[in-house]
Amino acid sequence: MKLFRALLLVALLPLGLLDSLRVPLEAQQAAPATEPATGVKLDLAECVRVQKGELPIIISAPHGGNRAIPDVEPRTGEGLEKGPSGFFTGRDVGTEQLALAVAVEVKKKLGREPWFVISRVHRKYIDFNRPAEIGFEDPDARLVYEHYHGSLASACREVAEAHRCGLLIDIHGQGTSRSTVYRGTRNGRTTELLQQRFGGAAQTGEQSLFGLLAGRGWKVHPNPFDGKEQAGFTGGHIVGTYGSHQQTAIDAVQLEFGADYTGKEQRQKTAETLADALAAYAAKYLQSPPQAGQ
Ligand SMILES: [Zn+2]
């Protein structure tokens, strides 16, 4: 029974981890209790890395993992459209490590921790950047899927409560252009609040996130920044769920990295540059707005 598994998990976890698992544990208890017991302990921390942060910056990386999930079979994608925008099991190599490095560099730059939710499991078992209906097939994968999204949702909620604004970056890798980083904001929709508060230049100007990255030597797309985003890289389920077009306080941006940025030799430099741009972005756009009525 899933509830038994959840209780077992609680009993086995060090106390410090319990807080970050608060919401997902609730989600576990809500999972259908009709599934057969597998007898295998599922350690969610082995499947998804979660860090509670202090900054209004949330890092997500759903496709970099390389681990199997005990008792879970690979997805088959039967009846689904195949390809990078549909059913796809290829992992974004190097992005798990890159996302962790970005978190470390952001802490160094800004003196406080960002939030993160980073998958350690292979995309062939779960695609966290798809809706639940098509993100997994094996019922035993549900807890892991819900842990990822429960953790992201609670990060977004806590950041919104504490700061009344925030930035979610969703880190991916792509094979279309080694030298390019593609922006995915559904052509500006997922950063709607940013643009309402600071004007369109916050999305398309030199001081926008991608403007700041281009200014630090990255080859970015779209460029000019007010051009259309590349079809297929316009932003998936994660930015589509948590972005400010959904009346959240969080602006969400998908970054699709070419291999020149995610390779073993390049990751550290990529993380440092991104953290430097995020620090400039935070100074400009992530100061908490006044409370309504003040
Ligand atoms: Zn991806």
CA of 111 to the centre of ligand 1 (A): 29
For ligand 1, the distance from its centroid to the CA atom of residue 63, given in whole angstroms, is 5
Return the axis-axis angle of helices 22-30 and 142-163, rounded to nearest 10°.
140
Residue 292 pLDDT level (bands cut at 50, 70, 90): low
Centre of ligand 1 to C-alpha 55, Å, is: 24
The answer to whether residues 132 and 126 touch, using CB atoms and an 8 Å cutoff, is no
Ligand 1 center–CA 180 separation, angstroms: 15
Higher pLDDT, 83 or 126: 126
pLDDT at residue 139, as a whole number = 93
Q: Looking at the predicted structure, is the pLDDT value of residue 177 above 60?
A: yes
What pLDDT sits at residue 159? 98
Give the whole-number percent of the chain exceeding pLDDT 90.
82
Instruction: Report the separation in Å between the CA atom of 187 and the middle of ligand 1, taken as the mean of its atom positions.
Output: 18
Selection from 193, 131, 126, 143 nearest residue 32 by Cα: 143
Nearest Cα to Cα of residue 89 among 118, 133, 126, 117:
126
Which pLDDT does position 42 carry in this prediction? 84
Confidence band for 207, pLDDT divided at 50, 70 and 90: very high
Compute the distance from residue 189 Cα to the ligand 1 centre, in Å.
Answer: 19
Encode pLDDT of 2-29 as tens digits.
Answer: 444 444 444 444 444 434 433 343 343 4
Domains (range + CATH), the chain: 44-77+89-285 (3.40.630.40)
Q: What's the CA gap between 127 and 122, in Å, rounded?
A: 8
Q: Distance from the CA of 44 to the center of ligand 1, in angstroms?
A: 21
Nearest to 202 by CA among 167, 232, 229: 167
Report the predicted TM-score, pTM, of the whole model to 2 decimal places: 0.86
Per-residue pLDDT tens digits for 221-252: 999 999 999 999 999 999 999 999 999 999 99
Residue 239 has, within 13 A of its CA and on its CB side, a CA count of: 27
Distance 289 CA to ligand 1 centre (A): 32
Find the 173 Cα to ligand 1 centroid distance in Å. Answer: 6
